[in-house]
Amino acid sequence: LRDPKTTRFRLIPDLETTMTALLAIWHDVDPSVATVYDAWYDEEHFPERLSCPGFINGQRYRAIDANTTPQYLAFYEVASLDALTSPTYRSRLENPTERTKKVIAGFRNSIRGACRVRFDKGTGAGLFCATLALDGAKSAGRLTQMAETIAKRTGVSRMRIIEGDAAATGPVTAEQRLRGQLDRPVPLTAIVEMDTDADLGCIGALHPAPGEVVRRYRRLRFALAPK
């Protein structure tokens, strides 16, 4: 992580409060913007988003193997879904900077949405994470039972189950139009953060059904909103 004395990116603290909402996006990146993508995210996009009211932190990841798609994942923890409908945040979506216009136009295969957090246990932020889109027909009780089992495992920093909220995600924005196609909504999804890549296999305890894809990522950056 970057030196907290020189940038707004700080060391990861214990996350003492459970979040009720977050914004999540999975996407691929067109080769035409790949060389400027990382710098844009850290120098402009994170600071811009994290200066919006109600944003708490942001994390972004890259897949640990070339076969995983989408290759990138980012999510922002917010105080509530209200943060994702605020005038400040909506204005950012409708008035992207020139640099943002160039990079966002290179996003492909996006899955994005404001999400409610249905289950949240753990106080850490793992270097690795795995995500699994779950069968929405599974009972809440069974999901909770499986999630509790995973959350107790050694090496698991945090276990969450999220679900997209169409109303909070809102209408098509200028940024989405730049991506050239509608974002797919976020289904009921497990996000498990872990200390090492050796722990990634624990998500199998959620018993993926046929067609449910496990995606595995390594964190590139963790950033806190400025105080």
- CB neighbourhood size of 111 (10 A): 19
Taking the CA atoms of residue 141, residue 113, residue 209 and residue 201 in that order, the dihedral angle to the nearest 10 degrees is -90
- The confidence band for 1, taking pLDDT boundaries of 50, 70 and 90, is very low
What is the C-alpha separation between 85 and 91, in angstroms, rounded? 10
CB 194 within 8 A of CB 126: yes
User: Is the confidence at residue 14, as pLDDT, over 50?
Assistant: no
* pLDDT tens digit sequence for 113-143: 999 999 898 877 889 999 998 876 666 677 7
- CB neighbourhood size of 10 (10 A): 17
Bridge partners, 130 (sequence order): 192, 216
CB 206 within 8 A of CB 132: yes
Query: What is the pLDDT, as a whole number, of residue 19?
Result: 63
Bridge partners, 79 (sequence order): none
* pLDDT tens digit sequence for 141-174: 777 788 888 888 888 999 999 999 999 999 999 9
Query: What is the pLDDT, as a whole number, of residue 139?
Result: 66
Query: What is the pLDDT, as a whole number, of residue 8?
Result: 27
* pLDDT tens digit sequence for 35-88: 999 999 999 999 999 999 999 999 999 999 998 999 999 999 999 999 999 999
Query: What is the pLDDT, as a whole number, of residue 212?
Result: 82
pTM of the model: 0.88
Instruction: Please give the average per-residue pLDDT across 17-46, as a whole number.
Output: 92
- What tokens were used for 105? 């136009």
User: Is the confidence at residue 178, as pLDDT, over 50?
Assistant: yes
